[in-house]
Chain A
Amino acid sequence: MSAIYRRAARFDRETLADDLILMNPDSRAVVVLNATAQLVWDALAEGASLDDLVAVFAAAGADAASVRADVAATLDRLVEAGLAVRGP
């Protein structure tokens, strides 16, 4: 079964132009998401697997194979920064 990613319980957010800036209030880690990557963050509000997220981008016309690595990298950045959690 694919892991489900969700937003962490604690995070702060700011916007600047098209960027969404997410900050971990405990570690002060920062992740800046562009407009495309913000779709990933939006989906994590309800929880989503990597496959779910790739499907969202594929439905919008992106090539699933090429987008998979980008989505996985974004998820890794969010988890590493403590802004998202990976669970069953």
Chain B
Amino acid sequence: MLALEDARYAQATGGDAFRAWLAAFNHPEARPARSGDIDGRVEAAVALAAMGYVAPARLLLAENPDIVPPALALLVAETAEGREDTALLAALAGRLGGHCDRRYAFPAALQGAGRDAVAAWVAARAGVLRKACPA
């Protein structure tokens, strides 16, 4: 999908990455054609969450709570802004220890991780995000 390539290029070269990721997320071909198909919006949702816009990640989670990357991205973004979503953290830890959609890659260190381990991972990544994007 060209929109996804454009977004990756904009991200890598200092272009208007927000706009490009938004276009990639909204691209008609990004949405799964049939139930159960790979969702091409996941990468864009994660990238937008890292820029502080979490609505796409929330939307994907509402449609498929078994996808791990948007949940992680959402938790990191919220933690970076000083917010805490204990319900999502608990739900994610539950999925990492049980059923989740493994077609979407997530850090191997989180495989089977419990709530505290996930919280520590999220806090560390939120610290990196805060340093990269100070308020």
B residues 101-115 touching A (CB-CB < 8 Å): none
- Complex formed: what's the CA distance from A64 to B56 in Å? 32
Interface residues of B in 46-85 (CB under 8 A from A): 53, 55-56, 59
- Enumerate chain A interface residues (CB-CB to B < 8 A): 12, 14, 16-17, 19, 21, 23, 28, 30, 32
Given A14-B23, A21-B22, A30-B18, 5 more pairs with CB closer than 8 A: A14-B19, A16-B26, A23-B19, A32-B53, A32-B55
Supply 20 A–B pairs (Cβ within 8 Å), ascending by A: A14-B19, A14-B22, A14-B23, A14-B26, A16-B22, A16-B25, A16-B26, A16-B59, A17-B55, A17-B59, A19-B55, A21-B22, A21-B53, A23-B18, A28-B16, A28-B18, A30-B18, A30-B53, A32-B53, A32-B55
Indicate which residue in B19, B25, B56 contacts A28 across the interface (CB closer than 8 Å). Answer: B19
